[in-house]
């Protein structure tokens, strides 16, 4: 990376790939779905950039087979491209989650992934995963 020093560019990828770039927090409104009914809830995800660099960010949510992103329950994974997040800034994204007639009562685990990208959304620098549970009663 010595050639970048000539042009005044610095290599910040080492800091981002070694440390955790995001802090994730979630909130489900209302806090549960209903079993054997078509019901919906909003999963609000807050992504905070804890680095000292601007990060191009996307958030991916994966659902179990009993839940979905539409009332039919066909779509199980969704990506929201947040855009650039400034250092120490927090962005909020919202996922609409639906329970269907095949949703039994219980707790369902979802996987939430926040991804830091390089240049465009095709290149990944680092990612943070968080598992959350959704209650169905």
Return the CATH number at 88: 2.60.40.10
Q: What are 102-125's pLDDT values in tens digits?
A: 899 999 999 999 999 988 999 999
Using an 8 Å Cβ cutoff, are 91 and 85 in contact?
yes
Strand order in the sheet with 106-118: 32-33, 120-136, 106-118, 55-62, 77-85
Position 102 scores a pLDDT of 84
C-alpha pair distances (Å), 48 with each of 25, 52, 55 = 9, 12, 10
Q: What are 4-55's pLDDT values in tens digits?
A: 454 555 555 667 778 899 999 999 999 999 998 889 999 999 999 999 999 9
Number of domains in the chain: 1
Q: What are 53-77's pLDDT values in tens digits?
A: 999 999 999 999 999 999 888 899 9
The H or E element containing residue 16 is helix 13-18
Q: Which of 92, 93, 86, 91 is nearest to 51 (CA)?
A: 86
pLDDT at 1 over 50: no
DSSP label at 36? Answer: T
pTM: 0.86
Position 14 scores a pLDDT of 66
Position 13 scores a pLDDT of 66
Instruction: Please give the structure tokens belonging to residue 25.
Output: 């927090």
> Residue 121 is part of which domain span?
2-136
Instruction: Write the DSSP string, 66-125.
Output: TEESSTT----EEEEEEEEE-TT-EEEEEEEEEE-TT--SEEEEEEEEEEEEESEEEEEE
What's the pLDDT band for 87 if we cut at 50, 70, 90? very high
């Amino acid at each position: 990376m010595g050639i970048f020093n000539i042009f005044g560019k610095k290599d910040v990828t080492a800091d981002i790939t070694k440390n955790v770039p995001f802090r994730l927090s979630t909130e489900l409104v209302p806090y549960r779905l209903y079993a054997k009914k078509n019901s919906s809830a909003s999963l609000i995800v807050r992504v905070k950039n804890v680095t000292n660099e601007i990060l191009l960010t996307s958030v991916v949510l994966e659902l179990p087979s009993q839940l979905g992103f539409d009332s039919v329950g066909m779509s199980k994974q969704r990506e929201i491209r947040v855009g650039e997040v400034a250092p120490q800034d927090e962005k909020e994204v919202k996922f609409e989650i639906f329970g269907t007639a095949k949703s039994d009562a219980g707790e369902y685990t979802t996987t939430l992934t926040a991804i830091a990208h390089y240049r465009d959304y095709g290149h990944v620098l680092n990612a943070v995963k968080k598992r959350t549970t959704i209650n169905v009663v």
